[in-house]
Chains A and B, each alone.
Chain A
Amino acid sequence: GENVEQHPSTLSVQEGDSAVIKCTYSDSASNYFPWYKQELGKRPQLIIDIRSNVGEKKDQRIAVTLNKTAKHFSLHITETQPEDSAVYFCAASMGGGADGLTFGKGTHLIIQP
């Protein structure tokens, strides 16, 4: 089955700096890659996703890049703010998202004031 590795497990950055979280996946059949943000005690919220026919997608301060050849994708957050502090999960799925998600282990992002 699919295996998703996520790094780092904890990331501390100064407010205003950029944060990058990286994930790799094992199954080349995966073609849908969402990123979820989970604040303590709350449900995961989709922040951005990318499909395998696209190499990069951007939404304001958040961007995701995908390298299908290397089977890795990354989340980039620019101009970080205190409210960006949370746990971020990458995930992979086949069938364009029709299948269940295989999640990475999560990254605890800490924004230092």
Chain B
Amino acid sequence: GAVVSQHPSWVICKSGTSVKIECRSLDFQATTMFWYRQFPKQSLMLMATSNEGSKATYEQGVEKDKFLINHASLTLSTLTVTSAHPEDSSFYICSARDRAGGNIQYFGAGTRLSVL
């Protein structure tokens, strides 16, 4: 099956700093990638849709200036959490849509962000 790589898997940062998370589709081109947030023992919540070559679309309540998304190539999307605060601590997980494969979304392994 298709593989999506996400890095880093775990990051600890100080409050006020920025953190970049990468999401790569390794064996298929993904014009669309998605970013989700998952709280402990809870479901995944869609944060934004990342489209190659255009601006991301954010879900209601998600601050676009806080969560910067860049999708500069067909295989890479990045999420930057700017001026991170402890309430941003969470599990961030990306998915890449395989358009040639019936629009199935393949998920990365996730990034555990801890803001001190």
B49 touching A106, Cβ below 8 Å = no
Closest CB in chain A relative to B10 CB, distance in Å: 11
Q: Is B70 an interface residue (CB 8 A)?
A: no
For this complex, into which size category does the number of interface residues on chain B fall?
20 to 34
Binds A, one of B12-20, B79-87, B103-111: B103-111
For this complex, into which size category does the number of interface residues on chain A fall?
20 to 34
Q: Is B72 an interface residue (CB 8 A)?
A: no
Count A-B contacts at CB 8 Å: 52
Binds B, one of A11-19, A43-51, A59-67, A78-86: A43-51
Interface flags, B74-96, vs A, CB<8A=1, else 0: 00000000000000000001010
Q: Is B42 an interface residue (CB 8 A)?
A: yes
Once the chains are docked, how many angstroms separate the CA of A99 from the CA of B59?
12
The one of B46, B93, B97 that contacts A43, using a Cβ cutoff of 8 Å: B93
The one of A42, A98, A100 that contacts B46, using a Cβ cutoff of 8 Å: A100
Once the chains are docked, how many angstroms separate the CA of A96 from the CA of B101?
12
Q: Is A25 an interface residue (CB 8 A)?
A: no
Chain B contact residues, CB within 8 Å of chain A: 4, 32, 34, 42-46, 49, 59-60, 93, 95, 97, 99, 102-110
Chain A contact residues, CB within 8 Å of chain B: 1, 32, 34, 36, 42-46, 49, 89, 95-106
